[in-house]
Each structure stands twice: as structure tokens, then as C-alpha cells.
Amino acid sequence: MPANDTRVKNVLSFDVEDWPQSTLDFSLPLTPKVRDNTFRVLDLLANAGTRATFFLLGLAAQAFPDLVRRIRDDGHEVASHGHSHRPVYRMQPEEFRADLRRSIAFIENAAGVRVLGYRAPDFSIRSSDWWALEILAEEGLRYDSSLFPIAGPRYGIRAAFTLPFRVLPACGSEFIEFPLATFECLGIRLPAAGGGYFRISPYHASRAAIMRLNRRGGPATSYFHPYELDTQEIPRSPHAIPWRLRLSQGLMRSTVEGKLRRLLGEFAWGPARDWLEGRDALTGLTSCQWRPSASSCWCWRRSALGEAVSTRSSIPAAPPPTRYGAVSSPSTTGTRAIARWHYPCSCRRALEQRSS
């Protein structure tokens, strides 16, 4: 990005996995398509002069260490996508920790650089799986990008913030959450700028979502899969694929590369690590803190405009929960400060209070 470019730099990311193994059967071996499709993405990014974060399966790094080194040599960031693409909610905490460590070991051995970030397979950290964020912090990771702030049937946490926010777990190791980009339509928050949503939806929906997040002063976090550029993968697959899956996973793949080129040209992009290294300011961050208790309470608090919340002590103790949660006024001064308290294990509704 040119030195005089004042556009907000958004987070560009790719989940590196093999479609049959990650979608049909976790026990399937990875095919060379993982490497070939990712090389195609790397060439596209080189032509656009854009860097990105690549969330790699540990299996991919184990099978194709040359791919990991190519990603590193091209100036991109490597991060973890778990080892075998098993959803987090299907693992016990220690299983998850072992899966995480195994993936990081293969990636770091291939790349020779430290892994800073993680993205759960299928965004599978739900409101009942917050323990996973605690483990990420305990393992020394500096950011996560697993949360979709939507009310989806398989994943999503509607109460989560839509711009990057600090997570303050009980272990004391603060890290950043980069939620996936969304937009609102008729009061419903919907996914945008990534995966099948980008592939099937009109381009202007993703464009509008990114512009709206940028107007609020923060980056939009996008995600793509290299296999989505492969239009022949599903038609030529030797596996028996149900027609609904064939339709949902293969529809409009031919449009992805053109739309992605347009997106790269219209907005500024970079890897998540740029925000951690101070190249771009993360100001006015919202905060979320794990407060172990009988109610398994997560406390959400939005800071006053322009004020960064960076200390654990700045989040007040939550009042006793009511039937639907609890409401409290923030202690900060300023305009339009918002406090949100969310009780994922006992409530379905989060309440907000605006104060001035």
C-alpha cells in the first residue's frame, strides 16, 4: 500500500485445507490440490501486490512443507487452522490443546517463524466453547479469528462485537479477536466478504459491508479458501457427494477469482499481524473478559468512543444476573458508551444500555 494511502487496511485471510478431507471425511489423505490451489492464490496476490494471513491445517504443513515456505518467502503470514479440521465443539479441552500444539509444531517447523494466530475450523467456537479462547491465551497466541458475530444455525455468536476487540481471559494474557465481516439487512446481521457468502452473494454486498466497517474506523476481516478457485474439483471428484452439498459448495465457483481480483483492487489489505506490530492503529477497542462463575459469565463492554480499554481492572464486576441477563452503566466518561453483559450458558438475550 502506498505511503500516502489513507484507506483502512483490512485483514485478508485464506484457510488452507483440502476440500474432500475438510468437508467429506477427516480421515481422507490430503491431495496435491492443496498446494496447487494455494500456489494459484499466491500468484494472484503477487500480481496485486497484496499480503495476507494463511491459516494452515497442521496436516497441510506436514504434507507440503514447501508450500509453507513459499507462503513465508512471499511475505505472507502463516497461522494455525487446527490440525485435522475437527470442530472445536467436538473436542474436550485437552484434546483441543493437543490438536493446537500439533498444528503449530508442523507449521513452525516448516516456516521457521513463530505462529501468532488461530482460526477454528468452521468457526466452531460457540458461546459454550469459550474455554478454547482461554487455551489459546495460555498457549501464547496473540490473536484469534474464529468468531462470527451472527446468529447462525451451525456457528456464530450474535453478542460478539463486529470490529476487532481485546479478549481478557482469566490467565491474564490479553489477545485480540478479529471477528469475521458482517453486514445488517432489515435488522438481521449476515456474513459477508468470505467463503460461500462471497461466492454466492452479489459483489456489492461484500463491498458495502467492508465500506461500512471501514467508516467505523476498523478493518473488515475476510476469509477465502484456495479450493474455491478450482471450478473442476467437485465435478471431477471421485467421491459420492450429496447433491445439496454439491450445489452449496460448487455453485458459482467460476465467479470467485474475478470478484476477488476486484476486491483486492478496490480496498487496502494486509495480514492480521500488521495490526499487532503497530503498523496500523487499533484504537477504541472493545473488550471482553472471562469471569469464571456459576453462571459462566462473559462480560462484554464497549469503551467510550476513541478510548481503548486495555486493562483487566477497567471492566467492572457484573451485577447479579436477572432472567435475561444484567445491565450496568460503564464507569468511563464520554458519549455513547455501551455496556453489554452476556451470559451464554443461562440466557439467550443480551441487553444494552446507552449512557452519556
Rounded Cα distance between 20 and 25, Å, is 7
- How much is the average pLDDT of 158-165? 87
Percent of the chain with pLDDT over 70: 76
User: pTM for the whole thing?
Assistant: 0.82
Average pLDDT over every residue of 48-52:
97
CB 178 within 8 A of CB 222: no
Give all strands (DSSP E) within the chain, no chain letters. 9-11, 13-16, 53-56, 77-80, 117-118, 143-144, 165-168, 175-177, 182-185, 188-191, 268-270, 286-291, 297-302, 337-342, 351-355
**pLDDT at residue 323 above 60?**
no
Residue 71: C-alpha distances to residues 34, 85, 116, 235, 278 (Å): 13, 20, 15, 28, 22
Dist CA 194 CA 222 (whole Å): 5
Residue type, 243: W
Nearest to residue 83, comparing CAs of 118, 35, 130?
118
Report the alpha-carbon angle 167-169-172, nearest 5. 110
Q: Are strands 13-16 and 53-56 parallel, antiparallel or unpaired?
A: parallel
pLDDT for the residue 287: 61
Residue 16 phi, psi dihedral angles, 5° rounding: -90, 110
pLDDT of residue 1: 53
Domains and CATH numbers, the chain: 9-276 (3.20.20.370), 286-355 (no CATH)
Nearest to 123 by CA among 175, 84, 83, 81: 81
Residue 322 has pLDDT above 90, yes or no: no
Q: How many CB atoms lie within 10 A of CB 81?
A: 29
Model confidence at 316, pLDDT cuts 50, 70, 90, reads very low
Query: Quick one: average pLDDT of 297-309?
Result: 43
Least confident of 57-71, 195-209, 314-328: 314-328
- What amino acid is encoded at 136 in this protein? L
Lookup: cell for 187: 435488522
When pLDDT is averaged across residues 50-61 and rounded to a whole number, the result is: 98
Q: What span, in angstroms and rounded, lies between the C-alpha atoms of 306 and 333?
A: 11
pLDDT in tens, 259-284: 999 999 999 999 999 988 764 556 55
Q: What is the overall mean pLDDT for the chain?
A: 81
**What DSSP character marks residue 107?**
H
Nearest alpha carbon to residue 354 among 342, 330, 337, 340: 337
**Tens digits of residue pLDDT in 332-353:** 222 222 223 232 322 223 223 3
Angle between helix 93-111 and 65-73 (nearest 10): 70
How many angstroms separate the CA atoms of 329 and 11, rounded?
Answer: 32
| Confidence band of 127 (pLDDT split at 50, 70, 90) | confident
Q: What are phi and psi of 233, to 5 degrees?
A: -60, -50
